[in-house]
Amino acid sequence: MGIIDVDNLPYPDGDFYAFEDLLTDKERDRLHEIRAWLAAEVKPHAADWWNAGEFPHHMIPKVAELDVMSPVYRQGYSNLFAGLCHAEMTRADTSFATFMGVHDGLFTGSIEALASEEQKAAWLPDIYAMKKIGAFGLTEPLGGSDVAGGTRTTARRDGDNWILNGEKRWIGNATFSDWVVIYARDLEDNQVKGFMVDTKTPGYSATKIENKIALRTVQNADIVLDNVVVGDEFHLKGANSFRDTNKVLKVTRLAVAWQAVGQQMAAFDVARKYAVERKQFGKPLASFQLVQEQLVKILGNTVSSLGMMVRLAQLEDLGQAKDEQSALAKAFTTARMRESVALGRSILGGNGIVTDYGMAKIFADAEAIYSYEGTYEINTLVTGRAITGVAAFV
Ligand SMILES: Cc1cc2nc3c(=O)[nH]c(=O)nc-3n(C[C@H](O)[C@H](O)[C@H](O)COP(=O)(O)OP(=O)(O)OC[C@H]3O[C@@H](n4cnc5c(N)ncnc54)[C@H](O)[C@@H]3O)c2cc1C
């Protein structure tokens, strides 16, 4: 069972039903190793990075050494292990998990799912070693929830090359990444295709989005593509329609739902510790029944979200997980998360709104998780379509 020592409290953590016990011994040992590394290397510095709004570039070689890239596809671990690892990263620092979610999930996942064997052999070794960092460019200034049918960035075939024009918004890691996978509409057949773009290519520019109130450590960019020329060898051979792009999103949407689990585990860690330590009316906050109820609500939300994700990971391992099941998981866990972090913030009173006490960052970062990889509403509508046969959006 997930009895932790992260904050020296000898009580059960958010994994109250011991789902971690479903891992193999090897997986559990590895998860504990990663948890200890995050507690030593990431957690103590995460608030400073967040406050500064700067990405800790010096961490990249250290993460490479930890060797956590592509746990399922490359390392052969179960989806449950991959999910619990991602939750653990989020529990330590949501920005760190999002950096990995973009580089490993969206970017590397695009190549693993949509590149040819030759392209994979050429690109993946440096990507897995984190010598090359990537980004994933799908969303646009005018195309968010409707980007599937509304991609405005264009790709025009010109002999052995493609010429890309357009704009992208919100692209994580893109201010410093070496590569970005750009999704663009082929002017000839009107289908959305994927391209590996070297960020040093003339005509490519990325500007940091400033003044965010969530995930401040993650560098999100506005990208402009002005007649960017890429050779046909950089067209991902399996990325020829939005249906192909969706193969990546189905998996990364699961990862974001695991983030919602990690976010709630973090809220529980911080709120429970504070409730036990902080005294009012001469007694610990934890002695008040209303506070206990709030803690138990956070725990119930965490356990139900975790239980849903465990079953979905098992279905994913069996190759049976459906798009709408990922969508429901993303909608459900993020809604529970929003309630959990608000309760946690309330338990810390005024200290809940300053980053020194841990909870404010958890509270603010939850808002990004709620909206990216398909908003709560869009994932609800994807599920609604699956259970009624009626699409409430097109
Ligand atoms: C921190 C962060 C990181 C991101 N990283 C990346 C990245 O690396 N790469 C990338 O490509 N994208 C990225 N995104 C983009 C993200 O996926 C989009 O923000 C998301 O898809 C929503 O699009 P939007 O922000 O344009 O909102 P909009 O689509 O404009 O939606 C606004 C609101 O309207 C609602 N709405 C829209 N249509 C409907 C409808 N039919 N019915 C009911 N409600 C509706 C939405 O649910 C939402 O509440 C990131 C976003 C954030 C905030």
Note the CATH architecture for domain 243-388. Up-down Bundle (1.20)
**C-alpha 253 – ligand 1 centre gap (Å):** 13
* Burial of residue 7, with CB atoms counted within 10 A of its CB: 0-12 exposed, 13-18 middle, 19 or more buried: middle
Residue 70, by phi and psi: left (phi above 0), alpha (psi -120 to 50) or beta? left
Domain with CATH 1.20.140.10 in the chain: 243-388
Domain with CATH 1.10.540.10 in the chain: 6-128
- Do the beta carbons of residue 277 and residue 351 sit within 8 Å? no
Alpha helix segments (H runs only) across the chain: 25-41, 43-52, 59-66, 79-92, 94-100, 109-114, 117-128, 147-150, 242-277, 289-317, 323-347, 359-371, 376-388
- Cα separation, 31 vs 258, whole angstroms: 15
- Cα separation, 363 vs 342, whole angstroms: 7
pLDDT at 9: 65
Beta bridge partners of 284: 279
- Do the beta carbons of residue 9 and residue 276 sit within 8 Å? yes
- For the entire predicted model, the pTM comes to 0.96
Asked if residue 113 has its Cβ within 6 Å of ligand 1, the reply is: no
**C-alpha 382 – ligand 1 centre gap (Å):** 14
Q: Are strands 134-137 and 179-186 parallel, antiparallel or unpaired?
A: parallel
- Do the beta carbons of residue 101 and residue 251 sit within 8 Å? no
Asked if residue 151 has its Cβ within 6 Å of ligand 1, the reply is: no
Contacts of residue 265, Cβ cutoff 8 Å, sequence gap at least 6: 13, 14, 15, 87, 90, 91, 302
Three-class SS of residue 16? coil
CA dihedral of residues 110, 114, 115, 117 (deg, nearest 10): 120
Half-sphere exposure of 114 (CA within 13 A, CB side): 30
Asked if residue 174 has its Cβ within 6 Å of ligand 1, the reply is: no
Asked if residue 215 has its Cβ within 6 Å of ligand 1, the reply is: yes
Note the CATH architecture for domain 134-242. Beta Barrel (2.40)
Asked if residue 327 has its Cβ within 6 Å of ligand 1, the reply is: no
Q: Rounded to whole angstroms, what are the CA distances from 145 to 140, 204, 289, 369?
A: 10, 24, 42, 15
Residue numbers in the chain where pLDDT is lower than 50: 1-6
pLDDT at 4: 46
Residue with tokens 């993020």: 334
Atom of ligand 1 nearest to the CA of 375: 47
pLDDT at 6: 47
Query: Would you tell me how many other CB atoms lie within 10 Å of the CB of residue 231?
Result: 12
- Do the beta carbons of residue 345 and residue 365 sit within 8 Å? no
Q: Which two tokens stand for residue 42?
A: 């990431």
- Do the beta carbons of residue 213 and residue 367 sit within 8 Å? yes
* Burial of residue 121, with CB atoms counted within 10 A of its CB: 0-12 exposed, 13-18 middle, 19 or more buried: exposed
- Cα separation, 289 vs 2, whole angstroms: 25
Domain with CATH 2.40.110.10 in the chain: 134-242
What confidence tens digit (pLDDT) does each residue in 249-286 have? 988 999 999 999 999 999 999 999 999 999 999 999 99
What confidence tens digit (pLDDT) does each residue in 43-86 have? 999 999 999 999 999 999 999 999 999 999 999 999 999 999 99
Asked if residue 143 has its Cβ within 6 Å of ligand 1, the reply is: no
Atom of ligand 1 nearest to the CA of 137: 11
Q: Are strands 134-137 and 220-231 parallel, antiparallel or unpaired?
A: unpaired
Asked if residue 170 has its Cβ within 6 Å of ligand 1, the reply is: yes
Three-class SS of residue 39? helix
pLDDT at 250: 87
CATH number for the region 6-128 comes to 1.10.540.10
- Single-letter amino acid, residue 243: R
